[in-house]
Structure 1
Amino acid sequence: MRTFNLMVELDAPQLDPIFHALGDRTRRHMLRELAAGERTVGQLAEPFEMSLAAASKHIKVLENAGLIRREVRGRVHICRLDPGPLASVSEWLAFYERFWTDRLGALDRLLRQADAHEPPPSKGDTS
């Protein structure tokens, strides 16, 4: 576990821009849209009634995190999802999922052992 803890600590700065990007509802919605296929900046901005400049700022954050790629076709900017960085986030989260699964499993075993050793309540016991 020490090796993985060290790896998690070393990779954390690399994950910072990804978690920053995912920390905003607008950007998460944009990623969901892009999961269905490429979109223009205008299409990504449309559901939020925001300017193209505001949408571009969100897109830049997603680009900096490596979550999307933008291609310029003439005057149109096309965005597409790049799910690769989400794999490292999933791996990072999987460590904590295993951690909590192990901890909750240990608690469950402890409670079952305590229940097995506890005498049944007597008929006159009202507690």
Structure 2
Amino acid sequence: MSQAEASQLLGLAGKYRPYPEYKGAGVEWVGDVPEHWRVGRLGSFGYFIAGCGFPHEDQGRQDEIYPFYKVSDTNHVGNEKYLSKADNYVSKDIASKLGARICSAGDYVSQGRGCVAWKQEANSYSGNSDNKCDTHG
């Protein structure tokens, strides 16, 4: 299927201007990508860590230091692009007990099956997958 056919099928034809130049991605099922895009294995663009489970007995705290984002937090107004509001917070000790990784502002977060603790609330990216928060630095 060509780029034009795919755009038509997805209802995108005429909504976005095409890039001036394209190149092969080097993977048959990906097809062509814009010339200026960097192509490589996902691991070559950063490092990836998985989130962790969040037992009910550790949930509901608002008086701790680290926001602990759950997938449901992405539904809060204001969390559409950057995570800034959390329903749960954890201490450094609880984060350590859970094996939670403390993320930094600017890290990219995608959803899968778990949660992620956060070093700084502002300027953290939220992506969409299924229902786990993982960080990609």
Using structure 1 for the length normalisation, give the TM-score.
0.30
Which protein is bigger by CA-based radius of gyration? Answer: 1
- Of Structure 1 and Structure 2, the greater helix share is in 1
Using structure 2 for the length normalisation, give the TM-score.
0.28
